[in-house]
Amino acid sequence: MPAIMIQGTTSSAGKSLMTAALCRIFANDGRRVCPFKSQNMSLNSYVTSEGFEMGRAQVLQAQAARIEPSVSMNPILLKPTTNRKSQVILKGKPFRNMDAAEYFAFKPSLRPMILEVYRELAAACDVVVIEGAGSPAEINLMENDIVNMGMAEMADAPVLLVADIDLGGVFASIYGTIMLLPPEQRNRIKGVIINKFRGDVALLQPGLDQIEALTGVPVIGVIPYIQDLRLDEEDSATRFNRRAAGQIDICVVKLPRISNFTDFDAFRAEPDVSVRYIASAAEIGAADVLIFPGSKNTIEDLRWAKQAGFADALRQFPGVVFGICGGYQMLGETIVDADGWEVSNGETEAGFGLFQTTTLFQGEKITANVSGAAFGAPVSGYEIHAGKTVGNTQPFVNITQREGSAVNYADGDMRDDRVFGTYLHGIFDSGAFRSVFLNRLRRAKSLTEQTGIDLHQQRDAEIERLAAIVREHLDLRRVYALI
């Protein structure tokens, strides 16, 4: 089946969003289109309706393609647990933790699985838009590659190379990337897309002419810098820029192994809300809300948070405290790593003690797509966590549906109408719940109450805006000729 692959000269060149843009363009043109990324490294993950874990970027791309996300779109997910190790997720389920050398040796054995999954996905589509990872010119990783040129060869896909001009050095990065590739891989690159350009394209033309002459590859698009695009590049929040400057001040603790920080993207839809990522208790200031987010290594991040002064700060903080997943576990009395998920078997760590709960890391990892209600408003999202928490005295969320089946159980905890905890990632995506939560704060500050925007609808509008701009500035005749 026809395919086209988006690779980049660097990480954050714009591969994920360019893939999303092409998915929406093809979908708008009446094609059945699917995104695909063989291997993803990210701490932002999602749980499908079947309970499988996949990268968030492919979820956004599936929305762009107007199809439901499927783990087939991302069969390998690597979730870093330390600077040297990652949890390896295969076809949506945890396989095991590996260090870099182990995974490098293991990786070639994954090629048959990748090819099988890709072919099944491609058989249901008119075209597949494949995303690479990092740069194809990482010469130390070329051997047995499964995500860049190795994937392009498996799919027999032409490649478009995306380069970010906003950071400078764009022509050097284009030339260096192409010329470091062996000839057979170099010949797969059929076009260059320069991304995030500011200014007059006429002034760029001499450079475009020279880079085409030097590489033999045409520049088929110069995409302008898009102001205030409310779609995140994959893991772009690792830059943790302050978002907006609103009257409601939300602080998110920037844990060393913070995960699923896309939980807080929804606040960007609220003009009177600002989100700050903080690394020490001294930065809390006069915040209205302090959030402890998810973590890929809860016990080590809890220890770090204590050293950063958050235990003392929590005893004095007068505002709202909110914990999600690992952050919820930290707010309890104790965490016990019975099976050695993170540290050593039987090791115990005292939590912050805001809830009378104990979390036991034992048994299999829990992944589930769920929905229910909190504060009387509907919520939906997903659980991704090791461990079960017991001792919650005042559950916060009532779960009524799990993986498409009716259920009835309580999740999380709350105390003093001020401290809240839940396992539900994506809880703030619900416009109704977000309105209730924020309007409680607005009333306390004598601010005007507002109705929250549904995040799915807002993302769809932003995808349309992105696709329209890319359509205007990309030579789509060349792209269609390639597929």
The predicted pLDDT at position 82 comes to 81
The predicted pLDDT at position 184 comes to 96
Structural element, H or E, at residue 87: strand 85-90
Structural domain ending residue among the three candidates 231, 250, 281:
231
Residue 473 lies inside a defined structural domain of this protein: no
Question: Distance between CA atoms of 203 and 224, rounded to whole angstroms?
Answer: 14
Residue 474 lies inside a defined structural domain of this protein: no
Q: 42 lies in which domain range? A: 3-231
CATH number at residue 188: 3.40.50.300
Residues 37 and 164 grouped into a single domain: yes
325 has catalytic annotation: yes
Residues 218 and 312 grouped into a single domain: no
CB 321 within 8 A of CB 354: yes
Residues 124 and 50 grouped into a single domain: yes
Residues 287 and 409 grouped into a single domain: yes
Sign of the CA dihedral with 302 first, then 303, 304, and 308 last: positive
Residue 112 lies inside a defined structural domain of this protein: yes
* Residue ranges of E strands in 208-267: 219-224, 248-253, 258-259
CB 62 within 8 A of CB 107: no
Residues 215 and 246 grouped into a single domain: no
Residue 14 lies inside a defined structural domain of this protein: yes
> Percentage of residues in the chain with pLDDT exceeding 70?
97
Structural domain ending residue among the three candidates 204, 231, 258:
231
Tell me the per-residue pLDDT of 258-311, one tens digit each, with 9 for 90 and over.
999 999 989 988 999 999 999 999 999 999 999 999 999 999 999 999 999 999
Residues 182 and 104 grouped into a single domain: yes
- Cross-strand partners of 33: 127
Residues 317 and 209 grouped into a single domain: no
DSSP reduced 3-state for 69: coil
Residue 446 lies inside a defined structural domain of this protein: yes
Tokens at 138, concatenated: 């990482």
Selected catalytic residue, list 34, 325, 385, 473: 325
Tokens at 43, concatenated: 């701490």
Computed on alpha carbons and rounded to an integer, the radius of gyration of the chain in Å comes to 23
CB 48 within 8 A of CB 136: no
Residues 251 and 330 grouped into a single domain: yes
Selected catalytic residue, list 125, 385, 425, 473: 425
* Number of separate domains in the chain: 2
425 has catalytic annotation: yes
Question: Distance between CA atoms of 54 and 449, rounded to whole angstroms?
Answer: 36
Residues 372 and 410 grouped into a single domain: yes
Tell me the per-residue pLDDT of 412-439, one tens digit each, with 9 for 90 and over.
999 999 999 999 999 999 999 999 999 9
Residues 298 and 355 grouped into a single domain: yes
- Compute how many other C-beta atoms are within 10 angstroms of the C-beta atom of residue 199: 10
Residue 13 lies inside a defined structural domain of this protein: yes
Q: Is 338 left (phi over 0), alpha (psi -120 to 50) or beta?
A: alpha
DSSP reduced 3-state for 3: strand
Residue 398: C-alpha distances to residues 119, 270, 328, 411 (Å)? 40, 26, 16, 6
Residue 391 lies inside a defined structural domain of this protein: yes
Residue 481 lies inside a defined structural domain of this protein: no
CATH number at residue 443: 3.40.50.880
Place of tokens 């997720």: 89
- Amino acid at site 467: A
- Cross-strand partners of 232: none
DSSP reduced 3-state for 46: strand
Residues 194 and 251 grouped into a single domain: no
Residues 372 and 224 grouped into a single domain: no
Query: pLDDT under 50 in the chain at which residues?
Result: 236-238
Structural domain ending residue among the three candidates 188, 206, 231:
231
